[in-house]
Homo-oligomer: A and B are copies of this chain.
Amino acid sequence: MTESVRKIDAFLSEGLDGYIAETARLCAQPSISAQGIGLPECAGLVAGLLEQRGFQVWRIPTAGAPVVVGRLQGRSPRTLLFYNHYDVQPPEPLDLWTSPPFEPVVRDGALYARGAKDDKGEFVARLAAVDAVRAAHGGIPPCGVLFVVEGQEEIGSPHIAQFVQDHKDLLSCHGAVWEEGGTDADGRPQVSLGRRGVLEVDLSVETMRVDAHSGQADVLPNAAWRLLRALASLKGTDERIRIPGFYNDVQPPSPRDIAMLDALPDYEPHLRATYGVREFVLGRSGRALNHAVFEPTCNIQGLTAGYQGPGAKTVIPARAKAKLDFRLLPDQDPDDIFARLKRHLDAERFGDVEVTWIGAMWPSRVSVDDPLVALTARTGEEVYGLPGLLLPLGGGSSPFYAFAKPLGIPVVTAGVGYGRNRTHAPDEHVRLGDLLNAARHIARILEGFGDL
């Protein structure tokens, strides 16, 4: 351990209480994007935290909430971007919180509040890391630091891709640490190399103008059956998606991906315990569950048709609707998949099934050979004292792509999570030790990034 890293660790240990207080102050400000509550106020707090540290700060309006951008020069011309967000999920159901969601409180070694982990704790851990490297280097960080803190991540970041496109010069940098990261439930530091994309659509069909009595089901067309058959045309019981050309652009896992997957723990017991699953998809088990992330999916989010109350109603539904999401692999393109989906339904004579684009994110991966990956993994092992895990692809989706491609940068993950933070749920919390360790980890990345 170098002298500067020793100074960093000492600085953070001494300053931890202050960073807990800073997180708590941010969490005390509700900022619920889904409900339009407190967003400008929270953006103001974020801007203030950056300004008081000498960052040059921009509050840039979008069609939604403002994005706060902060830039600080470093000793190296290379700049590391931190993507974060100041909005949080709604706190409901309120009665399941042990203490009120917007009255942060420390108990049992953790800070409890909505946003304590996602994403205000993550943001403050980064501020702490920047403070620590500056303290160890006479006030000037070893590399440039760029914060991009948006206010609509929890509702799907509808404007961030356009925002990046529109501000490429302002956002010019050489690498990024994503908004969240940390360890698995056993304390092993994880680095995620990317995320699948996603295409979300509504399928709806109307077979008649009004519902009819089910005594006429031999002649009047049932929208639920119609929708069900359209859905059945999308995916076989073998889980293979039947849209022609759907797999054209799928990059299969490389031998290195497979090696990384094989090195991951067996999460089957965890999944069984959490979800009470009887049988996994296609009867998968053990490490095959990890490998499945390299399959795209066609998931039904919801179905609705006809009468859904108690008892029965002898009705033929005139309308039926399904919500779907497709998780997409590199290099599948949601625009292309959407067009193929529509062509498939037309070709299968389901032209009456209306397809509506709800939203999309593109898949994105960093090369495992990128030096930022190695730096993040090595420093993570140093801080957490356990071998790190490389996740070749995350199953979910995130606007990685909105930064990675237009800015031409690698994106990695590091942060305060430990897998059981109750993110998005009542009693969300960040463990104080994780806040400290994430700051130590990110400070080490800042230490090394200028020389990569």
Contact = CB atoms under 8 A, between A and B. Distances in A.
B215 A327 contact: yes
A332 interface: no
A281 B220 contact: yes
A304 B317 CA distance: 12
Interface in A4-46: none
Given A228-B231, A277-B208, A218 B303 contact: no
17 contacts: A156-B312, A196-B215, A207-B278, A209-B275, A210-B276, A212-B275, A214-B299, A214-B396, A215-B396, A215-B397, A219-B284, A220-B275, A222-B299, A228-B228, A228-B300, A301-B312, A302-B315
Interface stretch (A52-60, A126-134, A287-295, A413-421): A287-295
A447 interface: no
A390 to B, nearest CB: 18
A313 B216 CA distance: 35
Nearest to A210: B275
A1 B229 CA distance: 59
Interface of A: 156, 196, 198, 200, 207-210, 212-222, 224-225, 228-229, 231-232, 235, 237, 271, 274-281, 284, 289, 292-293, 295, 297-308, 311-318, 320-323, 325, 327, 352, 358-359, 394-397
Contacts of A229: 232, 237
B297 A217 contact: yes
Given A220-B275, A229-B232, A306-B323, 13 more contacts: A214-B297, A214-B396, A215-B397, A217-B281, A217-B298, A218-B293, A301-B307, A301-B316, A302-B305, A303-B320, A311-B358, A311-B359, A312-B358
A112 to B, nearest CB: 21
Q: Is the interface of A mostly helix, strand, loop or mixed?
A: mixed
Nearest to A223: B300
A358 to B, nearest CB: 5
Contact of A232 (B200, B221, B232): B232
Contacts of A305: 300, 302-304
Nearest to A296: B218
A126 to B, nearest CB: 24
A397 to B, nearest CB: 7
Closest 3 pairs (CB-CB, A-B): A215-B396, A209-B276, A302-B306
A276 to B, nearest CB: 3
Interface centre among A231, A323, A397 (most CB of B within 10 A): A323
A173 to B, nearest CB: 27
